[in-house]
């Protein structure tokens, strides 16, 4: 629970630091970077095509990092970031160029998606799925990658929620091999704080929760 709280605090702090910085090159729809309309990590990118171009000098830059559980439980795969996108910055922070899932035995990356300011990995107990919490300038979203076929799915917001600025969806923990518990935070219009709600997402077609649908576990 401490790591979840730390991640949410990090996201809220990032949003506070970056809020209102779109004119300075912060990721948003107008600058071509991350925004609430941002497409999910591409499943069409070739996992065998490495990034081209010379590495950029990142000395003195607040580099992004992969938090959470980088290695799968069986050690077969590692979630990592690749590069720093220095063309987009806000409040001295830079997003990663990409997020990769790498085969630890061969070093080959099997899946690649767009990088964010923050990224956190949570593996299912059997190591088949990894939930990636990805934080942009004023929101965060979660993608689940299946290592059986390296296809990804964006976890939908709970029914009745439209998302937008200062809405943060973050993976908390897997309660079993196919059920993911998440936390959804939205800005409280009546205060300077956030309203926190628990969410359940299931990948099991036999589960009581509809497959691929998020629902609120409670609104306390």
Three-state DSSP state, 66: strand
Q: Which residue has the tokens 């980088």?
A: 70
Residue with tokens 């993608």: 143
DSSP conformation class of 33: S
Q: What is the mean pLDDT of the chain?
A: 75
pLDDT band per the 50, 70, 90 thresholds, residue 188: confident
- The pair of three-digit structure tokens given for residue 65, joined into one six-digit string: 């990092």
pLDDT tens digit string along 138-168? 899 999 999 999 999 999 888 778 788 889 9
- How far is Cα 36 from Cα 87, in angstroms, rounded to an integer? 19
Any idea which of 8-12, 18-22, 112-116 has the lowest mean pLDDT?
A: 18-22
pLDDT band per the 50, 70, 90 thresholds, residue 21: very low
pLDDT above 60 for 13: no
Residue 94 and residue 14 in contact, taking contact as beta carbons nearer than 8 Å: no
pLDDT 10s digits, 40-62: 333 333 333 333 333 444 445 56
Task: Using the structure block, give the residue that is written with the tokens 């979660």.
Answer: 142
Judged on CB neighbours under 10 Å (0-12, 13-18, 19+), 148 is exposed
């Amino acid at each position: 629970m401490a790591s979840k709280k730390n991640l949410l605090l990090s996201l809220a702090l990032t949003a506070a630091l970056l809020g209102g910085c779109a004119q300075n090159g912060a990721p948003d729809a107008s600058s071509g970077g991350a925004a609430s309309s941002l497409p999910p990590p591409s499943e069409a990118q070739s996992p065998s095509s490495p990034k081209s171009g010379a590495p950029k000098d990142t000395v003195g830059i607040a580099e992004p990092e992969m938090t959470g559980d980088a290695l799968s439980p069986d050690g077969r795969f590692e979630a990592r970031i690749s590069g720093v996108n220095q063309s987009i910055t806000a409040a001295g922070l830079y997003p990663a160029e990409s997020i990769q899932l790498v085969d630890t035995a061969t070093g080959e990356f099997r899946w690649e998606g767009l990088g964010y300011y923050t990224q956190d990995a949570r593996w299912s107990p059997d190591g088949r799925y990894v939930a990636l919490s990805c934080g942009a300038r004023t929101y965060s979203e979660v993608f689940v990658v299946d290592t059986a076929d390296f296809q990804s799915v964006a976890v939908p917001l709970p029914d009745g929620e439209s998302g937008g600025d200062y809405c943060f969806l973050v993976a908390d923990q897997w309660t079993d091999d196919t059920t993911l518990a998440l936390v959804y935070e939205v800005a409280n219009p009546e205060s300077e704080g956030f309203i926190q709600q628990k969410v359940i997402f299931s990948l099991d077609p036999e589960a009581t929760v509809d497959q691929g649908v998020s629902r609120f576990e409670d609104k306390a």
